[in-house]
């Protein structure tokens, strides 16, 4: 029987592969400064039994055909898996693993940081100082923003791991109310966090701060678009650290430009990396980060280890630590 082998689409530290590489031959994309080109990926995956991929790798029928029938396990270095054709993988008997839980705290912390940077206008203030725009004397309303305390915070997808972690941290800021959307109401959300279940429309209408924490699927793709922005308060702020395609980015730009909403903070985008000519970059009422929600050193290392544990389990026909 042919030896099982695997391919890694991202250049990762060799120290994580010491054990698994003793069991299975491996290949890794060597360039750490660029994504593997599509054609190269199709060529390199051929004949492999396992694949360790990232969000930027499109795992579709074309790739599965290129890999061949011996491909048995795909491990993605992410929580999200909308870049993988899960139905086709199931049809072919390919197990798919992801990395939930290990990045929950890091993303929740980044969400709070992005929220504070947005509502307190931290990047604007920093730029003003550097450009010599700090007014002499005391500018009474200079760089005034808003506060979490006393506000109504609505969390879309608030019952998930990251949503709950965000809500847990937000409570220390003493908001007046926390509401959440979900596929169903969870009584423990009220018991533990005093968070109320709201339909989406009501949450959009009543919230001062809206945080998007839902996963991306057919029901949440462009969940927030032109009609939803019309329902929001003109003073409202929206934060997205989930997936970029949960928000219609062009509609967001129009809402920010016309001041239908006050501000936004984004760590994720419909297209990543965001194009340098994207109109969002021309606005001063949006804070933009380069998808660094899980970018804590310890978290990224744990993600690698979990992805490799999933891959090794799949290659050995054992249950994955986290399967999709």
pLDDT in tens, the chain (324 residues): 468 999 999 999 999 999 999 999 999 999 877 899 999 999 999 999 999 999 999 999 999 999 999 999 999 999 999 999 999 999 999 999 999 999 999 999 999 999 999 999 999 999 999 999 999 888 899 999 999 999 999 999 999 999 999 999 999 999 999 999 999 999 999 999 999 999 999 999 999 999 999 999 999 999 999 999 999 999 999 999 999 999 999 999 999 999 999 999 999 999 999 999 999 999 999 999 999 999 999 999 999 999 999 999 999 999 999 999
Angle between helices 161-170 and 104-119 (to 10 degrees): 50
CB atoms within 10 A of CB 69: 10
The confidence score (pLDDT) of residue 2 equals 64
For residue 242, is it within any domain?
yes
- Same domain? For 303 and 282 the reply is no
Domain housing 21: 6-100+298-315
The confidence score (pLDDT) of residue 138 equals 82
> What are residue 155's DSSP bridge partners?
180, 211
- Same domain? For 121 and 252 the reply is yes
For residue 320, is it within any domain?
no
- Same domain? For 254 and 163 the reply is yes
- Same domain? For 96 and 178 the reply is no
This prediction's pTM: 0.91
> What are residue 8's DSSP bridge partners?
28, 52
> What are residue 137's DSSP bridge partners?
none
For residue 123, is it within any domain?
yes
Q: CA nearest 316: which of 279, 308, 324?
A: 308
For residue 179, is it within any domain?
yes
The edge-to-edge listing of strands for the beta sheet with 26-28 is 26-28, 6-8, 50-53, 73-76, 95-97
Q: Alpha-carbon distance 303 to 21, whole Å?
A: 18
- Same domain? For 29 and 154 the reply is no
Q: Alpha-carbon distance 187 to 287, whole Å?
A: 34
Residue with tokens 């329902």: 231
The confidence score (pLDDT) of residue 297 equals 97
Q: Tell me how many domains the chain contains.
A: 2
pLDDT in tens, 212-237: 999 999 999 999 999 999 999 999 99
Angle at 294 between CA 289 and CA 295, to 5 degrees: 70
- Same domain? For 270 and 309 the reply is no
Residue 80, classed as helix, strand or coil, is coil
- Same domain? For 113 and 256 the reply is yes
Q: Alpha-carbon distance 98 to 55, whole Å?
A: 11
Report the residue count for the chain.
324
pLDDT in tens, 99-118: 999 999 999 999 999 999 99
The confidence score (pLDDT) of residue 137 equals 81
For residue 138, is it within any domain?
no
The confidence score (pLDDT) of residue 32 equals 78
Residue with tokens 């999200």: 80
The backbone region for 194, taken as left when phi is positive above 0, alpha when psi lies in -120 to 50, beta otherwise, is: left
For residue 39, is it within any domain?
yes
For residue 52, is it within any domain?
yes
Angle at 66 between CA 12 and CA 43, to 5 degrees: 50
- Same domain? For 228 and 267 the reply is yes
- Same domain? For 18 and 88 the reply is yes
Q: Alpha-carbon distance 297 to 171, whole Å?
A: 26
Query: Which residues are CB-neighbours of 282 under 8 A, at least 6 positions away?
Result: none
Contact 118, 265 (CB under 8 A): yes
The confidence score (pLDDT) of residue 101 equals 92
- Any catalytic annotation for residue 152? no
Residue 171, classed as helix, strand or coil, is helix
- Same domain? For 77 and 123 the reply is no
Residue with tokens 């929001």: 232
For residue 137, is it within any domain?
no
- Same domain? For 67 and 193 the reply is no
- Same domain? For 124 and 265 the reply is yes
CATH of the domain at 158: 3.40.50.720
**Active-site choice (83, 140, 152, 291):** 291
Angle at 159 between CA 74 and CA 86, to 5 degrees: 20
């Amino acid at each position: 029987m042919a030896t099982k082998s695997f391919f890694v689409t991202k250049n990762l530290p060799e120290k994580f592969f010491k054990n698994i590489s003793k069991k299975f031959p491996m290949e890794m994309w060597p360039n750490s400064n660029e994504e593997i080109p599509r054609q190269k990926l199709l060529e390199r995956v051929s004949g492999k039994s396992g694949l360790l991929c990232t969000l930027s790798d499109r795992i579709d029928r074309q790739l599965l055909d290129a890999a061949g029938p011996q491909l048995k396990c795909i491990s993605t270095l992410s929580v999200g898996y909308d870049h993988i054709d899960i139905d086709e993988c199931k049809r072919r008997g390919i197990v798919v693993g992801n990395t939930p839980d290990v990045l929950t705290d890091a993303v929740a912390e980044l969400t709070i940081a992005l929220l504070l940077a947005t509502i307190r206008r931290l990047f604007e203030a920093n730029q003003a100082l550097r450009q010599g725009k700090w007014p002499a004397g005391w500018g009474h309303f200079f760089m005034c923003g808003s506060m979490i305390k006393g506000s109504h915070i609505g969390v879309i997808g608030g019952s998930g791991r990251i949503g709950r972690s965000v809500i847990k941290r937000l409570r220390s800021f003493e908001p007046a109310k926390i509401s959440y959307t979900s596929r169903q109401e969870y009584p423990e959300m009220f018991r533990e966090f005093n968070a109320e279940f709201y339909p989406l429309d009501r949450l959009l209408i009543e919230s001062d701060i809206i945080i998007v924490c839902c996963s991306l699927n057919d029901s949440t793709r462009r969940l927030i678009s032109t009609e939803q922005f019309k329902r929001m308060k003109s003073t409202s702020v929206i934060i997205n650290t989930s997936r970029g395609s949960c928000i219609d980015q062009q509609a967001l730009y129009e809402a920010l430009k016309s001041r239908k909403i006050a501000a936004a903070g984004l760590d994720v985008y419909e297209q990543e990396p965001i194009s340098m000519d994207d109109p969002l970059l021309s606005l001063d009422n949006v804070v933009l980060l380069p998808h660094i929600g899980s970018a804590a050193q310890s978290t990224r290392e744990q993600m690698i280890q979990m992805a490799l544990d999933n891959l090794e389990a799949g290659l050995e026909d054992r249950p994955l630590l986290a399967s999709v």
